[in-house]
Chain A
Amino acid sequence: MQDFAEAFRLAFGLVGSADPDLIEIVVLSLRVSFTALLISCAIGLTLGAFLAIARFPGRGALLVLVNALMGLPPVVVGLFVYMMLSRAGPLGVMQLLYTPTAMIIAQTILITPIIAALSRQVIEDLNGEYADFFRSVSVPMADRLWALLWDARFSLLTVALAGFGRAVAEVGAVMIVGGNIDHLTRVMTTAIALETSKGDLALALALGIILLGIALAVNAAVMGLKTQAVRHAYA
């Protein structure tokens, strides 16, 4: 028990002193997860909006597939990306394995289905509300997509938040494709796993505190935005 208390004291000390190693890990984690989130939003929101309003043969099967992919096991994604990027893999010539780019690719694959599936539901609900108006004024598909994405933007922020949460907390895939290399691919989750196994609970706890802090801050920001939106009847 005394060890835990000492670990907490050291952890807060590391956070308070803005330890350079700690900062490096945090910055890399955020860079990887935010980049993956941006790419996933570009793909997932477009796909989600398209699935919400388009009707075509096989749409039901595609919806089932996208929904099922929300539960993709990170280690399976890691293994898949590893095979693609390894020297013998089809993308081996790009030499991306054990780089932050490989980690971004893995996280993108992991969270794109989440963003596509959740945004599909949000946009489908809004489209149900707008459908008569859109048909009445003959809004072309591209304008309709953009209008729905824009008008649902505050709800879609929550969707993006869910994706970011999944990305920043993920450990299996980035461990496989990043390799947890110090000063190169070490992110918060892989560092926590490593330091815990080494018995260095202080650094692990410090990273855990920061991870929780980031999650709280992002949630609070999004909730604040949504509250403003509801107050102004935009949501």
Chain B
Amino acid sequence: MRMHDAAEALSLVRPRPAGDADNLQTADVKGLVFQAGGRRLIDGVDLTINPGPITMIMGPNGAGKSLLLRLLHGLLTPTSGSVSWNGEKAGDGTRKRQAMVFQKPVLLRRSVAANVDFVLKLKNGRNRTERIERRNALLHSVGLSDHAKQPARLLSGGEQQRLALIRALASEPGVLFLDEPTASLDPASVLMIENAVSEAHLKGVKIIFITHDIGQVKRLGDEVVFMAKGRVTEQTSVPAFVSAPRSKEADAYLNGRLVI
């Protein structure tokens, strides 16, 4: 699919007023701890996330990346510490202005089109004609138009993840969390997802993206948050991270040495 097709279709994601976006997209994380089974899985994270850049979260398996994303989205309650979005505690209120794409797509037992419709009906309350137009545009943007009537669970892994992404974008979120959405996908699917994410970002959506792929970080990211053992070891720009990581954990990770 051509890049400008995606841009054209996703142009229905209207740009947000700058002030509005700023109000929704700044996160303050203070002394964040999440404990389970007697282990501190998130161990005292302090972090500020600003509205502008695409934030890529990296780190070895078990570093706590997915947990941090869930805590930021308010899906989990911290053991101690806090997450707030412009002063509002992460939870039901902040989640309404956010969306998340999970590593394993959670798709409803319905058709592809019905999966998108579910969120459109819920979030936008559009009339039927407008909803169908918007749904068709979103499906077109990631090359799923021909699959609209198919059961979502019969799609390939890449198609399922693309569907999960446009369904998340259907709610016109201020912040979009992506938990390794391109893990195990073929290059074409990765490209489509990266294009859609870039377009959403251009329209003012704050992107927070977990990945293990350093190439993807270079293509897509503006800043990197690196995690190891439940802590954030550094937060820096992508060029700085790639050329001279400050923490020994990030250096070991980038050089292929296992971080335990």
In the complex, identify which listed stretch (A80-88, A126-134, A161-169) lies at the interface while the others stay far away.
A126-134
* Chain A residues with CB under 8 A of B153: 233-234
Judged by a CB distance under 8 angstroms, whether B99 is at the interface is yes
Chain B residue at minimum C-beta to C-beta distance from A134: B106
Other-chain contact of B110, A138, A139, A143, A234 (Cβ < 8 Å): A234
Interface of A is mostly: helix
Chain B residue at minimum C-beta to C-beta distance from A136: B100
Chain B residue at minimum C-beta to C-beta distance from A235: B109
How many residues of A sit at the interface, in one of the four size bands?
10 to 19
Judged by a CB distance under 8 angstroms, whether B253 is at the interface is no
- Is the beta-carbon distance between B154 and A233 smaller than 8 angstroms? yes
* Chain A residues with CB under 8 A of B100: 132, 136
Judged by a CB distance under 8 angstroms, whether B122 is at the interface is yes
Min CB–CB distance A150 → chain B (angstroms): 8
* Chain B residues with CB under 8 A of A235: 109
Min CB–CB distance B135 → chain A (angstroms): 15
- Is the beta-carbon distance between B75 and A135 smaller than 8 angstroms? yes
Min CB–CB distance B24 → chain A (angstroms): 15
Other-chain contact of B73, A126, A136, A143, A151 (Cβ < 8 Å): A136
Q: Give the complex CA separation of A133 and B171 in angstroms.
A: 13
Also in contact, A136 and B108, with CB within 8 A (given A147-B118, A232-B151, A233-B154): no
Other-chain contact of B108, A132, A135, A138, A147 (Cβ < 8 Å): A147
The 0/1 profile, CB within 8 Å of A marked 1, for residues 73-105 of chain B is 101000000000000000010011011101000
Q: Give the complex CA separation of A152 and B99 in angstroms.
A: 25
Q: Give the complex CA separation of A151 and B109 in angstroms.
A: 6
Also in contact, A137 and B119, with CB within 8 A (given A130-B108, A132-B75, A235-B109): yes
* Chain A residues with CB under 8 A of B219: none
Min CB–CB distance A145 → chain B (angstroms): 14
- Is the beta-carbon distance between B122 and A143 smaller than 8 angstroms? yes
Q: Give the complex CA separation of A76 and B119 in angstroms.
A: 47
* Chain A residues with CB under 8 A of B171: 137
Given contact pairs A233-B151, A233-B154, A234-B153, enumerate 16 new A-B contacts (beta carbons under 8 Å). Answer: A132-B106, A133-B106, A133-B108, A136-B98, A136-B100, A137-B119, A138-B92, A138-B95, A143-B122, A147-B108, A151-B108, A152-B109, A232-B151, A232-B154, A233-B109, A234-B151
Closest 5 A/B residue pairs (Cβ): A233-B153, A133-B106, A151-B109, A233-B151, A136-B100
13 pairs of residues in contact across A and B, judged by CB atoms under 8 Å: A130-B106, A130-B108, A135-B75, A136-B75, A136-B98, A138-B96, A143-B122, A151-B109, A151-B110, A232-B154, A233-B151, A233-B153, A234-B109
Query: A residues bordering B, Cβ < 8 Å?
Result: 126, 129-130, 132-133, 135-139, 143, 147, 151-152, 232-235
